[in-house]
A and B are shown apart, each in its own frame.
Chain A
Amino acid sequence: MLTIYFNGEPFKVTQSSLPDVLLELNAPAICAVAVNGQFVPKDQHQNVILQEQDALDAFTPMQGG
């Protein structure tokens, strides 16, 4: 079990690879992902293993002017 911060809130997850964690957290299908403030392009998700206390952020389309 791993505690990570997903969009600022703590979550316990059983997986550690980024694609699995996104699935486990039911992250939006369309989003950009950053780990500890660094953008991770989609084609590199599979190379990322999350660590305890990592910050995972998912950015989704939103209203804008």
Chain B
Amino acid sequence: MSWQLAGNTLNSRFLIGSSLYPSPHIMQQSIAASGAQVVTVSLRRQSPGLKGGDSFWQHIKSLNCHILPNTAGCYSAKDAIHTAIMAREVFNTHWIKLEVLGDEYNLQPDPFALLEATKELIAQGFEVFPYSTDDLVLAERLVSAGCNIVMPWGAPIGTGRGLINPYALKTLRARLPDTTLIVDAGLGAPSHAVQAMELGFDGVLLNTAVAEAQNPILMAQAFRDGIAAGRSGFEAGVIQQRDLAKPSTPVLGTPFWHQDKDDRGG
């Protein structure tokens, strides 16, 4: 079922990264297999004479996806703003995945610098996709600053730990019902993506879990299917958990059933 992301109608709720694949060819095949229509990229200085960037860009362009440039590696609002402005010119898009990191160990976003950069970039006409923690107040401030989208982490980048704080993510969903929420980073298994989608998140963005899988193309398909299944589950309405077992098969009319015995269904 289609959905809206920053004014674009998409069929896939999978946003995928373009890094860490064993080869450009496998990257291209994996992204195609994922069904993703949004691909994240970065801007980097490269050694003079190397043409790797050109080749990479040709591979990405041939996929006909929406391009979501990032500000990965920035540790200050100033650097992130600078990078975003350059990315806008190179990729010809006002979309920016805004990363402003605050800690080198867990690559945790710096909430203060993130908010500062968000305000400036929105003032300059960007559609900001902020990579944030699962902090509710930060998310609310980002929305107040003009973000239509917030991308809380499932876990720190590249850890593959899944949703380390489902309560916080569930709270974000409940408190920001009109904001597009995308779980970004930290997922390892397709089941993590299913869980995120069942919580009602609008999409999932990941990279390492696919790129570093033993078979990235197959894993891309697995995440594609997991994301779709999780979304369907959310839309269908998951039943409430309960402690008391309840038979699913009708007890009345069971062969050899007698009125004076307890109901023991299964």
The answer to whether A34 touches B86 (Cβ under 8 A) is yes
The answer to whether B90 touches A30 (Cβ under 8 A) is yes
> B36-64 interface mask toward A, CB cutoff 8 Å, 1 = contact, 0 = none?
00001111111111011110110010000
B89 CB–A CB distance under 8 Å = yes
* Chain A residues whose C-beta falls within 8 Å of the C-beta of B206 in the assembled complex: 65
- CB-contacts of B53-103 with A (<8 A): 53-54, 56-57, 60, 69-70, 72, 82, 85-87, 89-91
Distance (whole angstroms) from the CB of A41 to the closest CB of chain B: 6
The answer to whether B48 touches A30 (Cβ under 8 A) is no
Count residues on chain A whose CB falls below 8 Å from chain B CBs. Answer: 25
Q: Write 22 A-B pairs (CB below 8 A) sorted by A numbering.
A: A7-B47, A9-B47, A28-B46, A28-B51, A31-B90, A39-B82, A39-B86, A57-B45, A59-B43, A60-B44, A60-B46, A60-B57, A61-B43, A61-B53, A61-B91, A62-B44, A63-B41, A63-B42, A63-B56, A64-B42, A65-B17, A65-B40
- The CA of A11 and the CA of B20, in the complex, are separated in Å by 32
Name which residue of chain B comes closest to A11, CB basis.
Answer: B48
> B7-30 interface mask toward A, CB cutoff 8 Å, 1 = contact, 0 = none?
000000000011111000001000
Name which residue of chain A comes closest to B92, CB basis.
Answer: A30
* Chain B residues whose C-beta falls within 8 Å of the C-beta of A35 in the assembled complex: none
> A33-60 interface mask toward B, CB cutoff 8 Å, 1 = contact, 0 = none?
0100001011000000000000001111
- The CA of A30 and the CA of B46, in the complex, are separated in Å by 12
**A39, A59, A62 interface centre (most CB from chain B within 10 Å):** A62
Residue positions of A touching B, CB distance < 8 A:
6-9, 11, 25-26, 28-32, 34, 39, 41-42, 57-65
The answer to whether A61 touches B90 (Cβ under 8 A) is yes
Name which residue of chain B comes closest to A38, CB basis.
Answer: B82
Residue positions of B touching A, CB distance < 8 A:
17-21, 27, 40-49, 51-54, 56-57, 60, 69-70, 72, 82, 85-87, 89-91, 157, 185, 206-208
Name which residue of chain A comes closest to B72, CB basis.
Answer: A64
- Given A7-B46, A31-B90, A64:B69 Cβ within 8 A: yes
Q: Within the complex, which residue of B57, B207, B208 is in contact with A61, where a contact is CB–CB below 8 Å? A: B57
Name which residue of chain B comes closest to A25, CB basis.
Answer: B48
The answer to whether A64 touches B54 (Cβ under 8 A) is no
**A25, A29, A63 interface centre (most CB from chain B within 10 Å):** A63
- The CA of A27 and the CA of B41, in the complex, are separated in Å by 20
The answer to whether B51 touches A65 (Cβ under 8 A) is no
- The CA of A6 and the CA of B207, in the complex, are separated in Å by 31
Given contacts A8-B45, A32-B87, A39-B82, 7 further A-B pairs with CB under 8 A are: A6-B48, A7-B46, A31-B53, A39-B86, A61-B43, A63-B20, A63-B56
